[in-house]
Amino acid sequence: MPPAIEVVNLRKRYAGTVAVRDVSFSVEQGEIFGIVGPNGAGKTTTVECIEGLRHADGGTITVLGLSPGREHDRNQLRQRLGVQLQDSGLPERLRVGEALRLYSSFYDNPADWRELMSVLGLTDSESKRFGKLSGGQRQRLSIALSLVGRPDVVVLDELTTGLDPQARRDTWALIEGVRARGTTVLLVTHFMEEAERLCDRVAVIDAGRVVALDTPAALAAAADTEQRIRFRPATAFDDSLLTSLPDVTRLERHGEMVTVTGTDNVVNAVTSVLASHGIVAEQLRVDQASLEDAFVALVGRLSNIQEGTPDVR
């Protein structure tokens, strides 16, 4: 099966600045593929080239065997590529139902927009104006509009920005449902938790280049050099009891909590020593490296992605 999206050596320059230096990746059909990276890394520019909104300066892009840079291909692609942009782009006075009906009239083989509206929990808001919708409702409408043409590939940019935790989880479930239907999903996000939970594979982009590309678990594992365990000892003990162990590299105390860092075997070593000394470890927690740790290790800048501000185009 040919890949749904193939990007090879993509390059894009704006007046004075290079937005995308060298980006290559391919997205398999039926995959949920994530693009993560700090602000200004070139994520949005990359997907805009894929969507055909911008012309690449160099490299090749193929989406469903078509080239978004060529006008004839682009027209065919519009029928098969669903897009959610960072800003929703609807007139304030347009109602939810009207927007869905209007957009469904654009496609040869549209979904039943009423059904889609109900799946996205927008039926109660059908006659509500776009300008009066809450952030979550807007986001859901914008997802619905990206799906109304029954696309083979859907590109979602900053899917859950501005949503509360519950709405975010609902949206994730929705995207998994979209994939279950066979749609390929390309997801731009700055929430590591989102990428970890949803994506089959993730490309980390920094300063216009792909700095890592793998499954979230593999990325986390690669960044993981140390294990950490945290607990509250029921009885006091001397630090040297644990620091003398070869697997332990560091021990810190914060109030009653003890944090021990070490090699892969540190959990085993520490728990067996504690057990043999009759020290009960309460609230024991083992920290596993997450995609977020991997991201920090790769990019070295977490602060600006946690602010939650979408890229400035």
Q: Does 116 bind another protein (CB under 8 A)?
A: yes
What whole-number distance in Å separates Cα of residue 24 and Cα of residue 72? 24
- Min dist CB 111 to another protein, Å, is 5
Q: Are 119 and 175 in contact (CB under 8 A)?
A: no
Q: Does 134 bind another protein (CB under 8 A)?
A: no
C-alpha distances in Å from residue 253, one per residue of 204, 261, 286: 34, 12, 16
- Min dist CB 50 to another protein, Å, is 11
Q: Does 100 bind another protein (CB under 8 A)?
A: no
Figure out which of the listed residues 22, 26, 40, 102 binds another protein, where binding follows CB under 8 A.
102
Q: What are the φ/ψ torsions at residue 251 (nearest 5 degrees)?
A: -135, 130
Alpha helices, DSSP H, located in 186-287? 192-198, 216-223, 240-243, 266-276
Nearer to another protein, 102 or 241 (CB): 102
Residues between 58 and 87 that touch another protein (CB under 8 A): 75, 78-79, 81, 83, 85, 87
What whole-number distance in Å separates Cα of residue 213 and Cα of residue 191? 16
Q: Does 135 bind another protein (CB under 8 A)?
A: no
Q: Does 246 bind another protein (CB under 8 A)?
A: no
Q: Does 295 bind another protein (CB under 8 A)?
A: no
Q: Which residues are CB-contacts of 144 (< 8 A; sequence separation ≥ 6)?
A: 100, 113, 116, 117, 120, 122
DSSP output for 8-33: EEEEEEETTEEEEEEEEEEE-TT-EE
How many residues of this chain interact with another protein, rule: CB under 8 A?
A: 45
Find the angle CA(141)-CA(142)-CA(147) to the nearest 5 degrees.
95
Q: Does 164 bind another protein (CB under 8 A)?
A: no
Figure out which of the listed residues 24, 26, 30, 94 binds another protein, where binding follows CB under 8 A.
94
Q: Does 141 bind another protein (CB under 8 A)?
A: no
Look at strands 281-287 and 257-262 and give their pairing: unpaired
Figure out which of the listed residues 58, 177, 246, 308 binds another protein, where binding follows CB under 8 A.
177
Q: Are 194 and 168 in contact (CB under 8 A)?
A: yes
Stretch of 5-13, 33-41, 110-118, 223-231 contacting another protein, by CB under 8 A: 110-118
- Min dist CB 80 to another protein, Å, is 10
SS3 label, residue 58: strand
SS3 label, residue 81: strand
Nearer to another protein, 173 or 286 (CB): 173
- Min dist CB 115 to another protein, Å, is 5
Stretch of 108-116, 158-166, 247-255, 259-267 contacting another protein, by CB under 8 A: 108-116
Residue that is written with structure tokens 């162990």 in the block: 245
Instruction: Determine how many CB atoms are found less than 10 A away from the CB of residue 48.
Output: 22
Q: Does 136 bind another protein (CB under 8 A)?
A: no
Nearer to another protein, 116 or 204 (CB): 116
Contact positions toward another protein, by CB under 8 A? 51-53, 75, 78-79, 81, 83, 85, 87-94, 98, 101-113, 115-116, 119, 147, 149-150, 170, 173-174, 176-178, 180-181
